[in-house]
Chain A
Amino acid sequence: MTMFKLVVLFLVPVASSALNVDCPKPQAEQCYGCLGGAFVNASAPSANCPGSGVSIAVMVHGSDCTIEVIEPFMIRCKPETCTATVTRAWTGVNPGSELDFCVKPPASSRLCLDTDPLTPGVQGPLSGNGTGSTTIETFTGCGDGTWRYSITAECGGSGSGASLTATAAVICDNHCN
């Protein structure tokens, strides 16, 4: 047996045992990715907004894991983020009222800063005149918990207090768990 073979025989188990435990399979080609999941809800507490409505649609795409060398002979599976495309649409909500596009990260209060949608030709902040929609692409880290994207709009005339809400939940789970 040559010296080279001896070295290889020694290194293979060392490298395998040093693999990050996030993904249980020791071979690099068996490193798992992440699974994306979508969930949606909508609430319309009032019937006094006959011409009004909001809707939301979400498509979630999972991700692969890449192999990352963190030290000599030590590699790990590095999960990539899941990608979600969220479209929020509204019809006939109160003219001039501001539309809330909010995001609620896991274990945090909601942030309503998303008023600059990526849809070409639509700039934020948006007002609730007539009908419109906006689409954003967003990313969720693997195992980061559930992110919620929502649209809330006033309806039923100024001061009615009536509102419509639609929410999309995006989750990105580590496949190897």
Chain B
Amino acid sequence: MTRRSLMLATAVALAFAVSAIWLWLAPTPAERPGTAQPLMESKLPAVDLQPRPSVQREGVATSQVEAPARVKSIGDVLDEIGVKMTPELAEELAADGVKLDQPVEVPPWEEVHAYFEQKLGSLPQQEADDRVAAMLAWPTDVTAESLTKKFPTIGERGIELNDLQLAEINILVTEKNRFIENAAIELCDGIRYGLQSEWRSGRYEKSPISTLVLPKPGRRAFYGTAAGHRAWGARVLLFSDDYPDLVALSDSAYRARKERDRQVLDYVLRQPR
């Protein structure tokens, strides 16, 4: 080996060793702010926010923003609470109008708690009344027109109901309608109780910006309610296996409704044209 070859080999070895040491000392991508997940890059200077707002899962009351809120980007806020941004999640957020580079000031949860409790921690009477009406699905004023609208078969068969027939239909449905209405009212009372119970025991989920960042439940819910307000989203789910009585009540109401409608149609189709 010539002297020149020996020097060249030494230089290469030295360069390799320096590179290895430099790579070992350099921060990993995960340690470099703004580079681990490009979707959450912020144009704003990095600001330390302690304690961080965190995602509440399954009623574990861990999410408290106690420090004064400071303006950051939505991407930074989500990054800080440990949200793993995937392209699918970014797409879902974008569909809800969430821009990750948009500045946002997240107020402490305590400031918005009362609003969410009012919206999600109970069932407003107006909403209960609307649900009872929807479950009853029967016209308040029984006329030939309203029944033809509900049962298009009447019009298709060219049947014109007279006052006597309408009165008979009213008698026919009275008992079933009373049952459906009572079941629907009882169901709404049960839902109201369920929401109050879930809320008071902390079994609600909340997150800054959107509930879309929360993990999806692996259980089936028969009722769910969500609200968005002042850079927070929250939701409450009533799971079917936690409330089997309410599910059964709902079943009985819908079966009675189906039976009522079948009886009315049977009656109508027996009438002469």
Whether, in the assembled complex, A57 has its beta carbon less than 8 Å from a beta carbon of chain B, the answer is: yes
How many residues in A have their beta carbons less than 8 Å from beta carbons of B?
46
Within the complex, the shortest CB–CB distance from B91 to chain A, in Å, comes to 13
Q: Mask for A5-49, Cβ within 8 A of B = 1, else 0?
A: 000000000000000000000000000000111111111111101
A43 to B228 Cα, complex, angstroms? 5
Q: Does B251 contact A (CB under 8 A)?
A: yes
Q: Are B96 and A43 in contact (CB under 8 A)?
A: yes
Least CB distance from A38 to B in Å reads: 4
CB of B225 closer than 8 Å to a CB of A: yes
Q: Does B216 contact A (CB under 8 A)?
A: yes
Does residue B250 face the partner (Cβ distance < 8 Å to A)? Answer: yes
Residue among A35, A37, A118, A165 making CB contact with B97, cutoff 8 Å: A165
What is the distance, in angstroms, from B212's C-beta to the closest C-beta of chain A? Answer: 5
Residues of B within 8 A of A59 (CB): 131, 191, 222-223, 250
A44 touches B223 (CB 8 A): no
Task: Report the Cα distance A55→B195, complex, angstroms.
Answer: 14
**A44-95: which have CB < 8 Å to B?**
44-47, 49-50, 52-64, 83, 85, 87, 89
Instruction: Choose among B130, B211, B224, B228 the residue that contacts A53 (Cβ–Cβ < 8 A).
Output: B228
- Collect the chain A residues with CB atoms within 8 Å of residue B230's CB: 44, 47, 49-50, 53
C-alpha spacing A43/B212, complex, angstroms: 7
Q: Is A144 an interface residue (CB 8 A)?
A: no
Does A135 sit at the interface, judged by CB under 8 A? yes
Least CB separation from A59: chain B residue: B223
Are A53 and B223 neighbours in the complex by a CB distance under 8 Å? Answer: no
Residues of chain B within 8 A (CB-CB) of A135 are 127, 130-131, 133-134
**Quick check: A43 and B211 within 8 Å, CB to CB?**
yes
Contact of A39 among B135, B137, B216 (CB under 8 A): B216
Contacts of B211 in A (CB 8 A): 40-43
**Complex contacts, B127 vs chain A, CB 8 Å:** 57, 87, 89, 133, 135
Query: Chain A at the B interface: mostly helix, strand, loop or mixed?
Result: strand
| C-alpha spacing A50/B114, complex, angstroms | 13
Given contacts A61-B250, A135-B131, contact A40 B220 (CB under 8 A): no
- 1/0 per residue B93-111: CB within 8 Å of A? 1001111001011110000
A87 touches B130 (CB 8 A): yes
Give the CA-CA distance A51 to B132 in the complex, in Å: 29
A39–B221 Cα distance when bound, in Å, is: 7
Are A45 and B222 in contact (CB-based, < 8 A)?
no
Q: Which residues of A contact B191 (CB under 8 A)?
A: 59
| Closest chain B CB from A39 CB (angstroms) | 6
Contact of A42 among B93, B233, B237 (CB under 8 A): B233
Question: For this complex, into which size category does the number of interface residues on chain B fall?
Answer: 35 or more
A contact residues around B223 at 8 Å (CB): 38, 57-60
A54 touches B106 (CB 8 A): no
* B104 x A47 contact (CB < 8 A): yes
Q: How far is the CB of A102 from chain B (nearest CB, A)?
A: 10
In the bound assembly, the distance between CA atoms of A119 and B97 in angstroms comes to 27
User: Which parts of B117-132 form the interface with A (CB within 8 Å)?
Assistant: 119-120, 123-124, 126-127, 130-131
Q: Which of B74, B140, B222, B226 contacts A61 (CB 8 A)?
A: B222
Contact indicator A57/B134 (Cβ below 8 Å)? no
The distance from the CB of A161 to the nearest CB of chain B, in whole angstroms, is 8
**Which residues from B are CB-within-8-Å of A140?**
none
> How near does chain B come to A157, taking the closest CB pair, in angstroms?
15
Partner of A166, one of B124, B135, B228: B228
Chain A 126-159 residues near chain B, CB threshold 8 A: 133, 135-137, 152
Instruction: Indicate if the CB atoms of B226 and A41 lie closer than 8 Å.
Output: yes
Give A55 to B228 CA distance when docked, in angstroms.
6
**Measuring CB to CB, which residues of chain A are less than 8 angstroms from any residue of chain B?**
35-47, 49-50, 52-64, 83, 85, 87, 89, 118-120, 133, 135-137, 152, 163-168
- Please give 16 more A-B residue pairs, beta carbons under 8 A apart, in addition to A40-B226, A61-B254: A38-B221, A38-B237, A39-B216, A40-B225, A41-B233, A44-B230, A44-B231, A45-B97, A49-B229, A57-B224, A60-B222, A83-B254, A89-B127, A120-B140, A135-B131, A135-B134
Identify the 3 closest CB pairs spanning chains A and B, nearest first. A44-B228, A135-B130, A42-B228
